[in-house]
A and B are shown apart, each in its own frame.
Chain A
């Protein structure tokens, strides 16, 4: 089945550690996105990528990094510089960057203590 997978579903880390969240899609989509969701707030864009080896900062990129070495994969690293990393992280993809529906993964809930 085509879709987006994120792993793990739940992730726990100690403060000061970097952590990488996985996102894989087999939809042959060019564009991929990372969002953060906090209670009572709308989703906010962290990074997006239009094509392999290209990515752009979203609204809240500070403390995060990404790579796009393969079309299928868009991992997100939450660095120790991120002040409030505990959140629900959603990955999405779309055929192209504009005018297309976005398909979302199941999300990863990250807790940093």
Chain B
């Protein structure tokens, strides 16, 4: 069983739609990261959170520590949001360098 599960694996949306990507994890964590990987391969860190909610522009990330679940929301989606979104967690007690990564959600936003 993967320690970090993302859903859906693939998502196609029309421009303007509200999008939700989910991340569930099975270990105790000290932080959760949302990352964006563009088609060229480069990765950008979107959020790092350990509780509650963070917002940056049209992106909102929430986390429920008790339920071991996080969501990434995109409001008013745009074709430039097309990318792979990756959830990663930092487990308690793990080796200091280690994040555990989900396999990613591939988002395609059609104009």
Contacts and interface: CB of A to CB of B under 8 A. Distances in A.
Interface of A: 31, 33, 40-45, 48, 50, 56, 58-59, 88, 90, 92, 97-107, 109
B103 A40 contact: yes
A98 B95 CA distance: 10
B66 to A, nearest CB: 21
23 contacts: A41-B103, A42-B86, A43-B101, A45-B98, A48-B96, A58-B95, A59-B98, A90-B41, A92-B43, A97-B96, A98-B90, A99-B30, A99-B31, A101-B48, A102-B99, A103-B45, A104-B43, A104-B44, A106-B40, A106-B41, A107-B41, A107-B43, A109-B41
Given A99-B30, A101-B48, A102-B45, A50 B96 contact: yes
Contacts of B100: 42
Interface in B6-52: 30-31, 33, 35, 40-45, 48
B42 A107 contact: yes
Given A43-B88, A101-B45, 16 more contacts: A33-B97, A40-B103, A41-B103, A42-B4, A42-B103, A42-B104, A43-B86, A43-B101, A48-B96, A48-B97, A56-B95, A56-B97, A58-B95, A97-B96, A98-B96, A99-B31
Q: Which 3 A-B pairs have the closest CB atoms?
A: A48-B97, A42-B101, A104-B43
Nearest to A108: B41
Contact of B45 (A45, A90, A99, A104): A104
A110 to B, nearest CB: 12
A90 B96 contact: no
Contacts of B103: 40-42
A33 B42 CA distance: 15
Contacts of A40: 103
